[in-house]
Amino acid sequence: VKEFSVEEKLSSLVRLQNIDSKLDEIQILKGELPIEVKDLEDEIEGLHARQTRIEEEINGIQEFIAQKQEGIKEAQALIKKYEKQSDNVKNNREFEAINKEIEMQELEVKLTEKHMKDASFEVKERQAQRVKTEERLDVLNDALKVKRTELEKIIADTDKEEKKLLTQSSDAKSKVDERLLAAYERIRNSYKNGLAVVSIVRDSCGGCFNII
């Protein structure tokens, strides 16, 4: 195992910091675009799920309305049947029984029509929700297209350099003592500027600017 001198250890750390700082610059150039693209994709996915749910609800309500329409036809057919029977009744008891059946079917028709009216109102509400969802999707898809184009351009411009720097960073880390590397990573991750190794400038730290 090769033993590195203090100078070699420090040189490797400085080189590693310079490489990582350049990688940080690329990430800064990308800015919040990766997060924004991911957020837009997640929201669009959620809206597609909502679209599917709304369509299923509309179809379910329309099936309910169709069933009720069949129920009205059956009730109206029974009413005609009872009216025809009422022409051949033999006594008041039969007449009253038939009239009661007719009234029940008429009531069933009115109740069913009310249910259909309420269901039709629900369909309109769902359709309005569908339109709003589609409008929102159009806006988000346009925004996503712009963000993706920006991000893809930056990636295309920096991809080659980023891969090269990542290789150099890995190589530099292999030449840094494990204990120093652990300290470097810990300090680097503690600060937003990502600086763990800095120069001394005019007797002051080049990172926090405190006098040494």
pLDDT digits (tens, 9 = 90+) for 145-192: 999 998 888 888 888 888 888 888 888 888 887 888 889 889 888 887
Average pLDDT, integer, range 110-126: 93
Q: Residue 1 above 60 pLDDT?
A: no
Please, are residues 197 and 13 in contact by the beta-carbon 8 Å criterion?
A: yes
Q: pLDDT of 72-92, one tens digit each?
A: 999 999 888 888 888 777 788
- Nearest alpha-carbon partner for 133 in 21, 57, 27: 57
The listed range with the strongest mean pLDDT (10-19, 30-39, 62-71, 175-184) is 62-71
Give me the pLDDT at residue 40, please.
Answer: 95
Mean pLDDT of the chain: 88
- In order, the DSSP letters of 23-36 are HHHHHHHHTTHHHH
Give me the pLDDT at residue 195, please.
Answer: 86
Q: Residue 2 above 70 pLDDT?
A: no
- Nearest 5°: CA angle at 167, between 161 and 169? 100
The H-or-E segment that residue 205 falls in is: strand 204-205
Percentage above 90 pLDDT, the chain: 40
Give me the pLDDT at residue 29, please.
Answer: 78
Tell me the C-alpha distance between 111 and 91, whole Å: 31
Give me the pLDDT at residue 30, please.
Answer: 82
Please, are residues 60 and 132 in contact by the beta-carbon 8 Å criterion?
A: no
Identify the three-state secondary structure at position 180.
helix
Strands (E), 130-170: none
Give me the pLDDT at residue 116, please.
Answer: 92
3: left (phi over 0), alpha (psi -120 to 50) or beta: beta
- The model's pTM is 0.61
Q: Residue 138 above 90 pLDDT?
A: yes
- pLDDT interval class at 47 (50, 70, 90): very high
Instruction: Calculate the alpha carbon distances from 45 to 7, 41, 133 in Å.
Output: 54, 6, 12
Half-sphere exposure of 207 (CA within 13 A, CB side): 14
